[in-house]
Chain A
Amino acid sequence: MSSETKQILTTDGIPLEVSLKKAEKKNKIKAFLLVAPLLLFLFITYVFPIGEMFTRSVDDRMVTNMLPKTFKAMEKWDGKELPPEEVFVGFYSDFKVLVENQTQGKLGQRLNKEKNGFNSITKKLMRQIKRNKIDESQSIKEQIMKVHKRWRDVEYWQAIKRTAPPYTMAKYLKGMDMYFAADGSIAQVDEDRRIHRILWLRTLEIALFVTIFCFLMGYPIAHLLATLPMKYSNLLMICVLLPFWTSLLVRTASWMILLQQQGIVNDFFVLIGLVADNNRPEMMYNKVGTYVAMTQILLPFMVLPLYSVMKTISPSLMRAGKSLGGTPFVAFWKVYFPLTIPGIGAGCLLVFILAIGYYITPALVGGASGTLISNQIAYHMKSTLDWSFASAMGLMLLSGVLVIYWIYNKLVGVDNIKLG
């Protein structure tokens, strides 16, 4: 029959091709609907907050909205000498609105952060306006300048001008111990006040060393787990996972019991005569404590990916390496080790990223020299309430992680990662 070479029809007379596509489309929609809740959840809990964090970290619209006429007038001002009359007029009318709404205090606080001394002179100006001391028929410039001598200082007007753009990178600069100088250039904070850079470096250093320690300890454990007979390896696996079943806080607290100066470890050192009783070493509230506790807590994240990779490596490969004349070390280094790289990559990336944002453990056992950048973020969230600064540092941390991920991808290749 000639119809064999033509379209194949279903029993309903619809071309089979169309019918198949329809069915496939239905399946695709079904599949999408199944993952839709997760996508929505991810968007609400992840994409949206990060976007919000970002806008908060650069948002500087408060002053922009409070002084619209001032900034309009300032557009023509070159910013070198005292601004012309129009700027003062604009500022005066903006400020009067603020005084009527009783929000001029916020402006004072905000400008005070930009340059010390604004708080008192805005208050002074507010009182003058309330007492109707300003005569609008005369030069506003002269009258404002008379209110306080700082109003005659060009630096204060420059400070106001700097707050004009609705968005600012100032918080990010602050996170790196830098700021916008009076002339708009980027300057370094005085050396004795550069705390953030130290914290960033310390965070990187601790995360790096914790990763190295985890790797050095986790690799043999994972190897043992992968090669032991089932009944022993199950027991060992439980030992590895046991910390997972205990609260992070409890584990950190138990490290405090172990590591403190009158703690069990120190008692033991004294008992075996390693240290003198009156000269017990400080093992907590410093880096040592952070290293010890974080390594223990993050160890499973190293062991598990390594284990899952090692489990798939046939023991006959090592044997083949040896039978072909490789010493046990050569067989390990040339055959076994390269095959575990996906696991090493996954484990190190996991531990490093977790360590870089670690919070509770360094907060409890870290002391002054063992706290990390996340503790600083928490401090600004809870104590100074400078959320935009906390957001900025959080985003810097996030982009740091992304950079590390990118480097890792360049070096090892993300396709090589094996998490389990």
Chain B
Amino acid sequence: MSKNPEFVKFDKVDKSYDGKVLVVKDLQLDIAEGEFITMLGPSGSGKTTCLMMLAGFETPTNGEILLDGNIISNIPPHKRGIGMVFQNYALFPHMTVYENLAFPLRVRKMEKDEIDKKVDKALSMVSLNGFETRMPGQLSGGQQQRVAVARALVFDPAVVLMDEPLGALDKNLRESMQYEIKHIHESIGVTVVYVTHDQSEALTMSNRIAVFNDGKVQQLSNPSELYEKPVNSFVAEFIGENNTFNGEVSDISGDECKVKLSNAEIIASAISVKSKGEKTTVSLRPERALIEPSEKMDNMFSGKIEEVIYHGDHTRVRINLLGNPEFILKVPNSTSNLELKVKEDIKIGWNSSDARALDPK
């Protein structure tokens, strides 16, 4: 079966609640069938609004949403056949686990045998067999979450929406649930639209990530590209850790450019700068800069260690480098035989291909 690359399509969607501010601006987003796509962004960036429009609880102010080629803007939520996992699970507290799962099947007037079969299958998918007669209140947070996932999947919806489903869980449980949801997605191949503000969640789970800010998709790409090659300084800042230098382009040739800082000049890849004299923010991942590099690198500077913080698997070193007192370096634990002393000068080097000259902050 060929996968439809435009299974869900947001076509120039605007959304405004008060008629003054657009919460979502001119959204253009295609989601392929069977894809796990994450909408990632800070709170108020419009990601949840997008999800609600897709679920049918909000209507777009402008534009259309298409599901498998059909415009769904005028279809009420209960006819869309989209499963949804809510932030606080939204399990029906007066129904048992079985009744919760049977609800979408009963409203579809299925036979009792078929309901039993499907509920059983959905429960085994989240490994909760034997919990049928429990009330949601008798389950732990993680179990409730799994029931919610099973309920959203039990009626075989074409798309499942998840609105920060792991927000209320503690860190360890959250991580194991991330893998569980990812595995369920892989095994049944349903299209998942996942909303979160937790970037590590997004990076581990998704096929593609849409980074939202200010009502717009800032970047839509797969996790590694998003992390390695952010297209603007918001994405660079939002995903992972980031060292920045603000300066002015002094020379540009092909992919490379020279950026003049207040007291030095660094070489970076020209991503969103076009010409000399432009203001820019250069972004560099902490793990891409090395202390006392053995090989030759095209940026080599000396800085003063301000702080050394032990993190177990790695050590974070804060360095005052080129007028930036917040320059962070990550030193893996395996190389911790390095002598790192506060207030000592140290040599730092990085390749220009890892430093990306982006739009100014």
* B-side contacts of A328, CB under 8 Å: 76, 78
* B-side contacts of A335, CB under 8 Å: 92
A324 to B90, CA, bound (A): 11
Which of the candidate stretches A49-57, A282-290, A312-320 sits at the interface with the other chain?
Answer: A312-320
Option from B77, B87, B103 in Cβ contact (under 8 Å) with A316? B87
CB distance from A314 to the nearest CB of B (A): 6
Query: A325 near B81 (CB under 8 angstroms)?
Result: yes
Q: Does B55 contact A (CB under 8 A)?
A: yes
User: Closest chain A residue to B151 by CB distance?
Assistant: A324
A324 to B157, CA, bound (A): 9
If A316-B88, A319-B57, A319-B84 touch, whether A324 touches B103 (CB-CB below 8 Å) is: yes
Q: Does A326 contact B (CB under 8 A)?
A: yes
* B-side contacts of A96, CB under 8 Å: none
Q: What does the 1/0 interface line of B331-353 toward A look like (CB < 8 Å)?
A: 00000000000000000000000
Q: What does the 1/0 interface line of A327-346 toward B look like (CB < 8 Å)?
A: 11011001100110000000
Q: What does the 1/0 interface line of B40-70 toward A look like (CB < 8 Å)?
A: 0000000000000001110000000000000
Q: Does B108 contact A (CB under 8 A)?
A: yes
Q: Does A152 contact B (CB under 8 A)?
A: no
Q: Does B203 contact A (CB under 8 A)?
A: no
If A324-B103, A326-B103, A334-B103 touch, whether A319 touches B78 (CB-CB below 8 Å) is: no
Query: B107 near A330 (CB under 8 angstroms)?
Result: yes
A114 to B26, CA, bound (A): 93
Q: Does A322 contact B (CB under 8 A)?
A: yes
How many chain A residues touch B (CB < 8 A): the figure is: 19
Q: Does B131 contact A (CB under 8 A)?
A: no
Q: Does A357 contact B (CB under 8 A)?
A: no
Option from A319, A321, A323, A327 in Cβ contact (under 8 Å) with B83? A323
* B-side contacts of A334, CB under 8 Å: 92, 103
Which of B93, B107, B108 has the most C-beta atoms of chain A within 10 angstroms of its own C-beta?
Answer: B107
Q: Does B104 contact A (CB under 8 A)?
A: yes
* B-side contacts of A339, CB under 8 Å: 92-94
If A325-B81, A325-B107, A326-B78 touch, whether A316 touches B94 (CB-CB below 8 Å) is: no
* B-side contacts of A325, CB under 8 Å: 78-79, 81, 104, 107-108, 155
A324 to B118, CA, bound (A): 15
Query: B76 near A322 (CB under 8 angstroms)?
Result: yes
Give the A-binding residues of B (Cβ under 8 A): 55-57, 76-84, 86-88, 90-94, 103-104, 107-108, 151-152, 155, 161
A331 to B92, CA, bound (A): 11
Query: A320 near B94 (CB under 8 angstroms)?
Result: no
* B-side contacts of A317, CB under 8 Å: 90, 92
Query: B83 near A324 (CB under 8 angstroms)?
Result: yes
Give the B-binding residues of A (Cβ under 8 A): 314, 316-317, 319-328, 330-331, 334-335, 338-339
* B-side contacts of A338, CB under 8 Å: 94
A328 to B77, CA, bound (A): 9
Query: B108 near A323 (CB under 8 angstroms)?
Result: no
Query: A322 near B88 (CB under 8 angstroms)?
Result: no
User: Closest chain B residue to A318 by CB distance?
Assistant: B90
A319 to B155, CA, bound (A): 16
Option from A316, A326, A327, A330 in Cβ contact (under 8 Å) with B90? A316
User: Closest chain A residue to B84 by CB distance?
Assistant: A323
A selection of 19 A-B contacts at a CB cut-off of 8 Å is: A314-B88, A314-B90, A316-B86, A319-B86, A321-B103, A323-B56, A323-B78, A323-B83, A323-B152, A324-B78, A324-B103, A324-B152, A326-B104, A326-B107, A327-B107, A328-B78, A331-B78, A334-B92, A339-B93
User: Closest chain B residue to A335 by CB distance?
Assistant: B92
CB distance from B206 to the nearest CB of A (A): 22
Option from A314, A316, A322 in Cβ contact (under 8 Å) with B78? A322
A324 to B83, CA, bound (A): 6
A322 to B94, CA, bound (A): 17
Query: A324 near B55 (CB under 8 angstroms)?
Result: no
* A-side contacts of B77, CB under 8 Å: 319, 322-323
A325 to B55, CA, bound (A): 11
A316 to B80, CA, bound (A): 17
CB distance from B81 to the nearest CB of A (A): 7
A331 to B107, CA, bound (A): 10
A328 to B88, CA, bound (A): 21
A335 to B103, CA, bound (A): 10
* A-side contacts of B152, CB under 8 Å: 323-324
A322 to B107, CA, bound (A): 10
If A325-B78, A334-B103 touch, whether A320 touches B93 (CB-CB below 8 Å) is: no
CB distance from B221 to the nearest CB of A (A): 29
A325 to B155, CA, bound (A): 9
CB distance from B8 to the nearest CB of A (A): 15
A330 to B78, CA, bound (A): 10
Query: A324 near B86 (CB under 8 angstroms)?
Result: no
CB distance from A254 to the nearest CB of B (A): 40
